[in-house]
A and B are shown apart, each in its own frame.
Chain A
Amino acid sequence: AQKITQTQPGMFVQEKEAVTLDCTYDTSDPSYGLFWYKQPSSGEMIFLIYQGSYDQQNATEGRYSLNFQKARKSANLVISASQLGDSAMYFCATVAFYNTDKLIFGTGTRLQVFP
């Protein structure tokens, strides 16, 4: 079985600063993917970034990067140069390659960016 743990219920960051949102995972599957989604108060889940378990390099997408430490089973999201529009709920999620239809979410971290 897979499990995602997000230990930070809430985080605050000042505009233009960088912030790291923590995510640890537990899986017995040798092949898996890790995702981060952003959910603003409007409700839509917005895909941000993906990391495969066999990827050697950390994934980056614009201001988002994923700090993947396989041995520690962590997949932290780093947001650089925070903007007010980054205020939202952030979910880490995982899926096993053998069972790609089931996305397992963490409990989420609410990020608030202040001026």
Chain B
Amino acid sequence: DTEVTQTPKHLVMGMTNKKSLKCEQHMGHRAMYWYKQKAKKPPELMFVYSYEKLSINESVPSRFSPECPNSSLLNLHLHALQPEDSALYLCASSQEPGQGADTQYFGPGTRLTVL
């Protein structure tokens, strides 16, 4: 089973709102990722958690705040977003970070619209 789940599927929020995206996997994977994907573009890496610790932050603005409460869960907290932050947000997980080329398995994504 290579399932990564994400909620919600769609989210519309105003620029003053605070919302959170949730990602979950039960494959025992120890690395989890957040990507942002604009229309007709490839995904762009935002954050990586390796063994529940933040290992990569790709210079993402502070209005995006990741959290990894445990090895199965990954949240992305959103605050004071801009309309240009509207995108598809993809979560992924992989089995063993740092162990050769580790396949990343993606969730279905959350389509975010910021008004």
Contacts and interface: CB of A to CB of B under 8 A. Distances in A.
A42 interface: yes
Interface of A is mostly: strand
A37 B37 CA distance: 14
Given A44-B108, A50-B103, A95-B101, A106 B56 contact: no
Nearest to A94: B101
Contacts of B97: 100-101
B42 A107 contact: yes
Interface residues of B, number: 30
Contact of B31 (A32, A42, A45, A101): A101
Given A101-B48, A101-B56, A43 B88 contact: yes
A63 B103 CA distance: 19
A47 B43 contact: no
A45 to B, nearest CB: 4
Contact of A52 (B92, B101, B107): B101
Interface residues of A, number: 24
B65 interface: no
Contacts of B71: none
Nearest to A9: B40
Contact of B104 (A44, A52, A97, A103): A103
A78 B101 CA distance: 21
B2 A47 contact: yes
Interface in B69-90: 88, 90
Given A43-B108, A100-B97, 18 more contacts: A35-B103, A37-B106, A43-B111, A44-B107, A44-B108, A45-B90, A52-B100, A95-B102, A97-B100, A100-B94, A100-B99, A100-B101, A101-B50, A101-B98, A102-B48, A102-B56, A108-B40, A108-B42
Interface of A: 31-33, 35, 37, 42-47, 50, 52, 91, 95, 97, 100-103, 105-108
> Which 8 A-B residue pairs are closest in the complex by CB-CB distance?
A33-B101, A105-B42, A45-B106, A43-B109, A44-B108, A101-B48, A95-B101, A100-B102
